[in-house]
Chains A and B, each alone.
Chain A
Amino acid sequence: MTHARAFLALAAVFLVAISLMAMASPASAATRFVFANESNYDTLDPHAAFDVGRVAVRLNLYDGLYRWRDNPAVLQPWLAESHTVSADGLTYTFKLRQGAKFHDGAEVRAEDVRWSAERILALKKGAASLLATMIAPNSTKALDKHTVQFTLTKPAAIFLAAVPEVHVVNSALLNKHEKDGDWGGAWLTTNDAGSGSYQLSRYDPVIGFIAKRFAGHFMPWGPKYIDEIEFRHIKEDNTRVLGMIKGDYQGTGGYLPIDQVKRLRDAPNVKIVEQESMRIMMFQINNQRPPFNDVNVRRAISYAFDYDGFNKDILSGSVERNPVPIPNNLWGVPKDVKGYSYDLDKAKQELAKAKAKVDRPITVAYLTGFSQTEQAATVMANGLRKLGLETKLTSELWPTMVDKMKKPETSPDLVVYWISTYYADPHNWIGEMFHSGQWGTFKASCFYKNPRVDELLDVALKSTDRKVREKAYQDAARIVVEEAGGVWIYNTKYFGPWAKNLEGIRFSPIGNGQEMRWVYYQ
């Protein structure tokens, strides 16, 4: 009896202890996710950056009126319920959904949207350069608490595509922290003034940020979600890959070298999400500098690059050939255009037809720190040497290269890099690369000029009729390819490493799957 009592007492103590432990550690049930990011999070200001490297801040802490989602990317109403466009294509009126709240509990109002647009234009950073081509300061109006109206300076069919970049900030909160007319800039670099699915709980510019689920987000949460997300800057590919294999991280960027992707494929706890992205690698040919102002010389260069060899031998077949200046998986691509192939005989014929003679070494430039651009430049130089042309390989850091590419006089003969997705519209590629009005920006460093192409791109930019736009882009692409304005190599594939037990990852070429509200553990 004594033993039985003692046993019962012990069992009771044990049960109480277990219950207390369970009550004391509710955090153990909370789900956590760590993403190892190759770029650092120098600033949390959603209006100061427009790059893919820091997109997690914008997608998780902030909301816009519309949001790009999935692949092919589709625009979804987000803070806005709907919108209307005036007949002349100049006025866009957005109706905001009711009940959306900022992280401090304040309601998201039309005035916040207006203030955010003005803030972007005033700071002149991030997406300002894109928006400033369409809207002027003080032209946006909050018609009532839930209606905001943008009036464009000229018709621009890409306006809606750019609207997701107007990340809405809490104007009342930022006004409180405003200092010397900085629009709350100094404060916002390290703080959160958003309404996004997650709210900031810790930030260190050197390390990254931690955010907790915002239960009050306007978009209802599903039955499963991640409670806490952490985005950490881990510079080295190898460290990120090792961390994924060891289970320290549950996600990392999807543009790793292919040998690292192979290592991750072998890891039992990692899965690779494979998607065709929208990121074209290309050589910009300086069309204004002799002898590259001769179309036959440009065509010869286009025939001299070993596209298949580069893909198969160097990139292990990890990319898709993209022969035109629009990503294969986007509308506006002329499907009948096959582009150029590696054909040295044709290249020689083109050189023979050329009026201009190539009597000096061709400068082939690539980006310091991006080994794949060096490999591409070497493949190009190899092809050109087989044609008997001398080459000179040079490399520059990106800031220096951007500086050089402002003018035809300083831009290299050939320079290779990628054109990424800032918004999923053909204008992001062919429009910004081959309209002569774009000269001076890095995308337009071909310095291509053809009045007919300008005309077609203007039509495509102004029209709100998708069919008209599509035909105009197709026609423009045919001409640019025919005239070998540049050398388009491939469209990138995304090989996103994620923990095997994660579900709900929604890849989009704009967000690269880093919008975490959809993701959960099995």
Chain B
Amino acid sequence: MRILALLLRRLAWFIPTLLGLLAITFVISRVIPGDPVALIAGDTATPAQVEALRRQLGLDRPLPVQFVTYVTQLVRGDMGTSLYTTRPIADDLASRLPATIELTLAAMAFSILIGIPLGVVSALWRNSVLDHVLRVITVSGLAIASFWLGIMLQLLFAMRLGWTPLNGRLQGFPPTTVTGLYLVDSVLAWDWTAFSMALTHLALPAATLAFPALATLVRFTRAGVLDVMQSNSVLYEHAMGLPRSVIVWKYILRNALTSTVTQIGLLFGILLAGAVVTETVFDWPGIGTYAVNSIIRSDYNGVMGFTVWAGAIFMIVNVLVDIAQGFIDPRARPS
């Protein structure tokens, strides 16, 4: 019941927040220079022809009217049609979603599987050489811009060593689409050539995306573990003669992970909604690249569609994180 109440409270905030976000994006996307109507009308279109198309698309009406029309459509589940691809925005986003999900999952798996153990190790051997080295790496992870890291990885692994492809998601068409996740689909189709190709394409963008996330997880896990290690419960567990590995990996880690889980949730949301830079550098055909292309082409509906997606993801992830925290730490459950 308490969780339901939390959900309802969050939902009540969801709508005004999304409306505010939409209003801001709507105004910004329309005041920046660039005329998408002139572009889709074609290079040879006269001003009169451009205006006729503008009227046909309803883009000649006052901005508030356009906004109300857009929101009304959105309430009905219609995100509009892309001015450029001429397909429904929902279809465009859906076709690119699996690419973003696959990249995000790979990056998160990479950062969780490496970041959490490193954070624990770093805390256990606090102020050792290992801890200092990890600190340098984590600070770098947070400080290095992902577009720079991505390009450096491309230069080294794709251009110099030739181990991975430069960019893209696969050479050509994937195996029969079941989930849209190429790694999964190629396993289902028993196509190991496609699997290894998908994996090599995924490696660099996933590493680029994972690096800052990994750095965050190392730092939060380290801080959490250090905090719990100084608690009386751990002293008691030591006094009880429990093995060190049980104390660390069972008792300390569980108590230390509360803040890390919050970060994982938030990072997942950030990556899912905004791996824009990494996707652009690696020409990864996901939601981020779609957003960039929409902005470049002034595809208003595309930009708005991305905004709805990103806003919704952030809000949903926030609620899920609150719920997950409650499960891990009873003190964090809503009263």
Contact = CB atoms under 8 A, between A and B. Distances in A.
Q: Which applies to chain B's interface (DSSP): helix, strand, loop or mixed?
A: loop
Interface in B155-186: 159, 165-173
B35 A403 contact: yes
Given A207-B173, A230-B172, A399-B39, A129 B166 contact: no
A110 to B, nearest CB: 26
Contacts of A232: 172
A441 B42 CA distance: 10
Contacts of B283: 235-236
A399 B298 contact: yes
B296 interface: yes
B285 A399 contact: no
B42 A127 contact: yes
Contacts of A42: 84-87
B285 A441 contact: no
Nearest to B48: A440
A442 B38 CA distance: 9
B99 A441 contact: no
B321 interface: no
B46 A129 contact: yes
Interface stretch (A55-63, A184-192, A350-358, A506-514): A184-192
B47, B96, B169, B170, most chain A CB atoms within 10 A: B47
A129, A185, A230, most chain B CB atoms within 10 A: A129
B44 A399 contact: no
A124 B41 contact: yes
B42 A129 contact: yes
Contacts of B85: 42-43, 189, 205
Interface in A407-446: 422, 432, 438, 440-443
Interface residues of A, number: 51
Contacts of B172: 34, 207, 230, 232
Interface string B42-55: 11111101101100
A235 B169 CA distance: 12
B280 to A, nearest CB: 10
B34 A400 contact: yes
A483 interface: no
A129 B53 CA distance: 10
A128 interface: yes
B92 A205 contact: yes
Nearest to B286: A206
Contact of A124 (B33, B56, B96, B168): B56
B86 A43 contact: yes
Given A42-B85, A186-B87, A202-B173, A129 B95 contact: no
Contact of A400 (B33, B165, B169): B33
Contacts of A503: none
Contacts of A443: 43-44
A234 interface: yes
B315 to A, nearest CB: 27
A375 interface: no
A258 to B, nearest CB: 20
A239 B46 contact: no
Interface in A369-421: 396-400, 402-404, 406
A248, A403, A432, most chain B CB atoms within 10 A: A403
A242 to B, nearest CB: 8
Interface in B111-155: none
A397 B296 contact: yes
Contacts of B81: 186
22 contacts: A42-B86, A45-B86, A48-B86, A124-B52, A129-B44, A129-B49, A186-B88, A204-B95, A204-B173, A206-B96, A206-B99, A206-B285, A232-B172, A235-B283, A239-B167, A399-B36, A399-B296, A402-B35, A402-B39, A438-B46, A440-B46, A441-B44
Interface of B: 33-36, 38-47, 49-50, 52-53, 56, 81, 84-88, 92, 95-96, 99, 159, 165-173, 283, 285, 296-298
Given A236-B166, A399-B34, A399-B38, 12 more contacts: A50-B42, A124-B49, A128-B45, A129-B43, A205-B92, A206-B99, A207-B285, A235-B283, A399-B35, A399-B297, A402-B35, A422-B43
Interface of A: 34, 42-43, 45, 48, 50, 124-130, 132-133, 185-186, 189-190, 202, 204-207, 210, 230, 232, 234-236, 238-239, 242-243, 248, 396-400, 402-404, 406, 422, 432, 438, 440-443
Top 4 A-B pairs ranked by shortest CB distance? A129-B45, A440-B47, A206-B285, A399-B34
